[in-house]
Amino acid sequence: MILHDYPPNYAEIEQKFDLRNYKPIFAFAPHIYVPHRNILGPELIEHEHVHIRRQGVAPEKWWHAYLVNENFRLAEEILAHVVEYQVLAAGRPRNERRRIFDIIAGRLCAPMYGYNPPLHPSRAHKLLKEAMHTRQKTSRAAVVFEPVNANARPTDPP
């Protein structure tokens, strides 16, 4: 269900991320929160549903890991961005799929996610391609808790 409200943990999110220039949407299972009343296309709904499925019955635990562990955050966003790309690219010609892929990779690099140092677009491209390849081979993507941002500080999994 989509709610036009802030998620229950918005104060924590706001402390961690600079959201001033964004109109983010949030998944806090079982809901998608759209406080700015953005119009959501099917690609964004599916992106958020990836997060909801990953949160399961413990969204608080997932969010804690998301806020404190940059590697976890990036791994989770890679999974959701891959699905977002797949929804947008389905049935499109190759040149259009390439353009969509570039847009999705750019979104993965957004400063809103708070990667430190920032994720470089070429790294985002590589990570998304690897995740798509893995997903095609296994039909389900596994999250790896090793540093996926080459410059990220290693941290323990949640």
Q: What is the pLDDT of residues 29-85, one digit of tens each?
A: 999 999 999 999 999 999 999 999 999 999 999 999 999 999 999 999 999 999 999
Tell me the per-residue pLDDT of 96-136, one tens digit each, with 9 for 90 and over.
999 999 999 999 999 999 999 999 999 999 999 999 988 76
Distance CA 59, CA 46 (A): 17
Please report, for residues 7, 14, 54, 132, the alpha-carbon distance to residue 57 in angstroms, rounded to integers and kept in the order given: 16, 23, 9, 26
How far apart CA 145 and CA 143 sit, in angstroms, is 6
pTM of the predicted model as reported, rounded to 2 decimal places: 0.86
Q: Domains of the chain: which residue ranges?
A: 2-138
pLDDT, tens digit (0-9, with 9 covering 90-100), for 92-103: 999 999 999 999
Whose structure tokens read 């998608």? 32
